[in-house]
Chains A and B, each alone.
Chain A
Amino acid sequence: MDNVIWKCENLTMKYGKRQVLNNVSFQLERGKIIGLLGPNGSGKTTLIKLSNGLLTPKKGNIIIDGHKVGLETKKIVSYLPERSYLDNSLKIYQIVDLFQDFYEDFDVNKAYNMLKDLKINPEDRLKSMSKGTKEKVQLILVMSREAKLYMLDEPIGGVDPAARDYILRTIISNYNPDASVIISTHLISDIEQVLDDVVFIKEGEVMLHKPVDEIREEDGKSVDELFREVFRC
């Protein structure tokens, strides 16, 4: 099996006249947890949205597990947007039913176990929950899939520190040699401990793509320290 799970070739994206991604090409391996790191407006979310077919690139393409972005990739990519995207009027178990219906790789037992761990009642309506709890629900749904690629856009931004630890443990426990996790975040010091590789992206260009261990050994810095250095204002 090809070791590359995700790659982009000559990827260019514009919003009007604003260039968001500028001829970007790189690839990511299977079985890795990759941090997609960069300041606001650097192109992280755009890259993730392009990977999920929510945007169409101006030029170039993205290949996931040998397929162009489309129906086949949606079956194997589990995506967590950085916003609340579920129907607020539904109860949790109804949303679980929806995921179970549409995604063959959805593990309903895992979902209910995680809901129980976080003391979330499946009979509750989404609109009755706090922002943080909604984000936990969304993450549970995404991580309950046996996907080949998880794309998490700011998964820990709106949750409390204890839940953050739980989320990071969940991400690690889903690790398997065939699946990769791409995490886009600002909270680098929290996430660094779980990352295998990092990609620094700035103004639509990839500044750095290295294993975390290499950064620590060669640069003698943590990823957080290197990030602050590279993206100093």
Chain B
Amino acid sequence: MLGKIIKHEFKATYKTALTMILSVLLVGGLVRMMDMVSFDGTIWRIIEMIMAVFYLLLLIAVPVSMFVVSIARFYRTMVKDEGYLTHTLPVKKTQLINGKLITSVIWIIISIMVIPLSLLINVKNSIYTFRDIAELLKLVFSNSTYIMDCVMFILLIIVSIMTSLLLCYASIGMGQMFNGHRLAGSVLFYFIFKYAFSFLQLFLMLIIPSVADMMNKYDTVNKILMAEDNGILALMLFVMPFQIILGIICYLIAYWRFSKKLNLE
């Protein structure tokens, strides 16, 4: 059943997702073409600049929009009228949540991966070329520390995306408590959970000595980028479990609300 849920989630979302992703590639291509033809004149330069700025904004907006669209779909299909279909399907609640989570994570990751791909293809004199990437990969795979850092970094991104989605799911689940003000209730609980977990994470990071030391050692971006020891890995090793625990808590809250406390309008 999980496979069927994922299949139908993809069917329902692929048009929106592909439109967003293709728009980035299209606008990027347009920027590249404009750069290649490059007419003289102030007006042309202004248009080029506007297009370039629009393109950069789009690069940021697409993953964010993908996230928002995923949450909006979850809200619509779990709490609004479409919930009458979703919750009467002969599937377990865990399968419902998992199916929606997996589909959303995949789309968001794809939308993030489009950023470097688009920059590589579309931007003249881009900060890196295919040759640069090959060199970078050779450097990374020659050093086990770098490999570990990269793997941990990628895992941390995936875990963070999942946790962020689950935080929203839990908030939407809790928002059902407010009859007639469910959306407002969901937003309220989102901020409550978000700030509570952020303060808890910061508190733990400050009181655990080894983590506090790492935070002092790598207190600027430059120091992080220049780090040669396993300090970054250590920091990620703290942040990751915390994110995982947070994700599990949110998952359990969402599951509890949608299985034991469901109350569709």
Q: A residues engaging B (CB < 8 A)? A: 15-16, 49, 52-56, 71, 74-75, 77, 79, 81, 83-87, 89-90, 94, 98, 101-103
Contacts and interface: CB of A to CB of B under 8 A. Distances in A.
A98 B84 contact: no
A101 B8 contact: yes
B264 A102 contact: no
B215 interface: no
B4 A102 contact: yes
Nearest to A88: B82
A87 B92 contact: no
> Which 8 residue pairs across A and B have the least CB separation, nearest first?
A85-B84, A74-B90, A75-B90, A81-B84, A85-B85, A85-B81, A102-B89, A54-B264
B90 A56 contact: no
Contact of A102 (B12, B87, B91): B91
A90 B77 CA distance: 14
Interface in B185-241: none
A103 B90 CA distance: 7
Nearest to A105: B90
B263 interface: yes
B262 A54 contact: yes
Interface in B11-37: 11-12
A170 B89 CA distance: 23
Contacts of A81: 84
Contacts of A54: 83-84, 87-88, 262, 264
B45 interface: no
8 contacts: A15-B179, A49-B264, A53-B88, A55-B262, A56-B260, A74-B89, A79-B84, A85-B83
Contacts of A98: 8
Contacts of B84: 54, 79, 81, 83, 85
A173 B83 CA distance: 29
Contacts of B89: 74, 102
B124 interface: no
B90 A71 contact: yes
Nearest to B265: A83
A90 B12 contact: yes
A86 B85 contact: yes
Interface of B: 1, 4, 7-8, 11-12, 77, 81-85, 87-92, 179, 260-264
B262 A53 contact: yes
Contacts of B85: 85-86
Contacts of B81: 83-85
A21 to B, nearest CB: 14
Contacts of B90: 71, 74-75, 102-103
A86 B92 contact: no
A56 B262 contact: yes
A15 B264 CA distance: 12
B16 to A, nearest CB: 9
Given A53-B88, A53-B262, 13 more contacts: A16-B179, A54-B87, A54-B88, A55-B264, A56-B260, A56-B262, A71-B92, A79-B88, A86-B82, A87-B12, A87-B82, A98-B8, A102-B4
A202 to B, nearest CB: 23
A55 B263 contact: yes
B4 A101 contact: yes
Contacts of A86: 82, 85
Contacts of A55: 262-264
A110 B79 CA distance: 31
A13 B7 CA distance: 36
B61 to A, nearest CB: 22
B88 A74 contact: yes
B78 to A, nearest CB: 12
Contacts of A79: 84, 88
A84 B11 CA distance: 20
A85 B261 CA distance: 20
Contacts of B11: 94
Nearest to B92: A71
Residue of B4, B260, B264 ringed by the most chain A CB atoms within 10 A:
B264
Contact of B261 (A49, A56, A90, A101): A56
B239 to A, nearest CB: 37
A225 B1 CA distance: 48
